Structure 1
Amino acid sequence: MPSFDIVSKTDMAEVENALNNIRREIETRYDFKGSNCKIERADTAITIFADDDLKLKQMHELLATHLTRRKIDAGVLDYKTPEKAAGQSVRQVVTVRQGIDKELAKKLVKEIKNSKIKVQVSIQGDELRVTGKKRDDLQETIAFCKGLKQELPLQYVNFRD
């Protein structure tokens, strides 16, 4: 029986490459001269240190731009609320989301079932397995899922006949 998986995975090596590029750009840009702006990563958490809110917004733009250059959707980033540090400086933690959470998985299953496409969808941990009798039904399901507006980028892998 043909099947495929719906997953949401991020290549952390590419994220690290993007962060290295951001660090280089911060060192050379004129508007960051003399500032204490830096960006660090620990596993899936990225911590942004900025002098003020304006620099923090510029760091957000840099992060989104460099991730997009590395073919990583900026939708994988989950921005936490900025915290005040010493003086005017600001610290913000950004999480790189991996996998499909339970809420989104249930929503996707419901949407696919409501579409009346003849496939079965099962939740397997942080991914979805879609099976059907015909390959055309699976391709229709992929097209349907791509048409849905999701905040998390999805990949369709493991297509088997």
Structure 2
Amino acid sequence: NYSISFRLTFCICNDLCSPVLTGGPISGTYRLKQFHFHWGASNDRGSEHTVNGIRSPCELHLVHWNTKYPSFGEAASQPDGLAVVGVFLKIGAANPRLQKVLDAFDSIKTKGKQTVFANFDPKTLLPDSLDFWTYDGSLTTPPLLESVSWIVLKEPISVSRT
């Protein structure tokens, strides 16, 4: 828990259990390092990206690193080092695919708390349509390295208020 966000970091035991991203606007293989959500105090200022000037209540970032580099840290400092998939969340119907993530909130209600998260497929967090916008940019949090190929999905996923 990071007070305004929380992050789930993948522990890579071997290449077979680590989700990867290939194709689309990127070349090579990118391994999932972590995902996190950004949200705000109100429904009109949670996402970090906008569409036609409008923000979503929340935005999910799935952070991947280019496996041609030996580590996430080294990849993050390279122009082609990271690929981040952004997914908007909208307030709507309950989303059973998010339930395992939401259930984890109970054990990480305060800053610095951690929990173990096993047997989870991050693909369940993606919408049905994988249409996207893409651009080369930077991390949205310090150190703001300009090493990110952004892939922002056009279709949001829903989450209920409760």
Larger C-alpha radius of gyration, 1 or 2?
Answer: 1
Same topology, TM > 0.5: no
User: TM-score w.r.t. structure 2 length?
Assistant: 0.23
Structure number with the higher helix fraction is 1
Structure number with the higher strand fraction is 2
User: TM-score w.r.t. structure 1 length?
Assistant: 0.23
Q: Could you say which structure has the greater relative contact order, defined with CA pairs below 8 angstroms and 6 or more residues apart?
A: 1
